[in-house]
Amino acid sequence: MPLIRTLRPKMFNPKALPKVLTREDVAGDVPVVVVVDSGITDQIPELESWIVGRESTVAPEYRNSDHGTFVAGLICWGNELNPTVSSIDSNPCAAFDLQVIPNDDPSKGDTESLREQEFLISLDTALQEHANEFKVWNLSLGTDTICSLDEFSEFAEELDNLQEKYQVSFVISAGNFSNPPLLDYPRSKAHLETGRITTPADSVLGIAVGSVSHVDYKKRGPKEHQPSAFSRHGAGPNFVIKPDLVHYGGACSIDGSHISGIRSVNGAGSAENLGTSFATPLVSRALAQIYHQITPTPKPVLARALLTHHARDPRTQQRVPDGEENFFGFGLPAPVPHCLECTPYTSTLVFDDVLRPGYFLEWNDFPYPTALHRDGRYFGEIWMTVAFAPARGARWGSEYCETHIDAHFGVYRERVSRETGEVTRVFAGLVPPEHKNPGVLYESYQVEKLRKWAPVRSYYGNLGKSGERGTRWRLMVRLLTRHGIEEEDAFKPQPFSLIITISDPDKKAPVYDEMARSVLHRFQSQNLAVRTVARIQRRS
């Protein structure tokens, strides 16, 4: 049975711990991330002030908290310890210490192994007690088993079951490639297979995180914002996009001769290290902010959709191009509060609902902003994100996901028959799925290229400088099923979250005000309620 392990820390470039925020410096409630790891030291008073609780299943003689402490430092002080690294969320965040992984470094004392079943039992026990309070669980861990393209691992399936049962989110490292030469970018043909993600990063409901470089290696290594040389890539089983997201986890040349790490806590000071293990907590803290700042607390599907919706390619701040999603996922998540706010020239609508087989939801006269409608044509930029927790069947191998949410957004156009002169209305979709080729309709192609049956799907449309003609807008969402699951007595309605953002690329039109008036006057809706942000008040 595969063993669970962390990346053995290789700290370098040590420094003294700078002056950092303590919990006493922050007024109000803060989000909490559960650090499922090797433990967090209690010997640093500043860090201890951010630890809201501790539990351990590791015997004292097998404890080595180096890795867990480094992860916790990034959750609590990621921005402060790495001020030159962009896009790290700067809001305060605390940690809960769940020590389940024993020491595997002989230089640090007695060693012990941890098997999957032992890990899952410990995790289930902790979830029973803390899942209602803590929604984000950081799993900077993995195995040496490369994920199959044909079926999901039993480990991932068990993690999916736990996430569904307890309504929490696991943020999981994509895995590290450690055999020299490391992974260059673009990946070589040989590395496309050997460099794929390891279990349990194939968890469908989990959020797998890869690493991108924060520095530029001119030779023998990644450029800035490209995938780190150690960061494993997708696709996941059934061609699900994995990793889901990326963040900065350090950089090195492919021969390992040059290293520039991400900085966090080491002993009584700080040091650098690198690995997808350390990109993961930076995504965890951003997701925890979403859970914390929205009230009432959102369901995992909505939290995941919000985290994904504003993610962008770190190289360009645009959409991740076709063909590169297996290395960047949906991109680098936007820090809170950016992903929860609108600008005057953008408007975001959030739909949180359920679907039943054989039914669909339709908005047949969608209130597209009039500021983006002129001379009979529509203008603007539109992106959508659909997220859901699909019904799953382990016995179906690569067809593990048994439900799929499909969305269509576009306009009706009038078509005149040349023979009869009869006028008919025809629907034209203007916001297609990303990574598409509608000319190929085979199921195998739809699974691989259109990401059909994937738990998160993104759509994007730019109506261009000349605009698109149409009479009125239509939004439609429907549920697809397979294996006859809809006929089973145990089948439940499928919850989903759909987020739509309409924007003026020229950043001039009053899109937000127009959409707010139209929606509030014509439809039953409400603003997404956000908590008051915790206030930082440094003591003298």
Contact 350, 290 (CB under 8 A): no
Classify the phi-psi angles of 271: left when phi > 0, otherwise alpha if psi is within -120 to 50, otherwise beta: beta
Same fold, 20-339 and 342-522: no
Give the DSSP letter string of 299-345.
Answer: PHHHHHHHHHHT-B-TTTSSPPPTT-HHHHTT-BPPPTTGGG---TT
- Structural tokens at position 217: 């290696």
Rounded CA gap, 366 and 363, in Å? Answer: 6
Domain boundaries, the chain: 20-339, 342-522
Percentages helix, strand, coil for the chain (3-state, rounded to 5) are 25, 30, 45
Report the pLDDT value the prediction gives residue 524, as an integer from 0 to 100.
Answer: 57
At residue 89, the pLDDT reads 87
Query: How crowded is residue 379: how many other Cβ atoms within 10 Å of its Cβ?
Result: 22
User: 55: which 2 tokens?
Assistant: 């539990």
Q: What is the pLDDT of residues 127-143, one digit of tens each?
A: 999 999 999 999 999 99
Q: Which of 265, 288, 204, 273 is nearest to 34 (CA)?
A: 288
Give the N- to C-terminal CA distance of the chain in Å, as an integer: 54
- What pLDDT sits at residue 357? 78
Give residue 530's pLDDT: 64
pLDDT value at residue 439: 46
Which fold is adopted by the domain 20-339? Rossmann fold (3.40.50)
The pair of three-digit structure tokens given for residue 488, joined into one six-digit string: 């089973």
Query: Rounded to whole angstroms, how far apart are CA atoms 10 and 108?
Result: 13
Q: 276-293 vs 300-309: helix axis angle to the nearest 10?
A: 110
pLDDT of residue 487: 67
CATH, range 342-522: 2.60.120.380
Q: What is the helix (H) or strand (E) element at residue 75, kind and residue range?
A: helix 66-81
Q: What is the pLDDT of residue 85?
A: 92
Ranges of residues in the chain whose predicted pLDDT is under 50: 437-441, 540
The residue assigned the tokens 């993690």 is: 159
| pLDDT value of residue 336 | 83
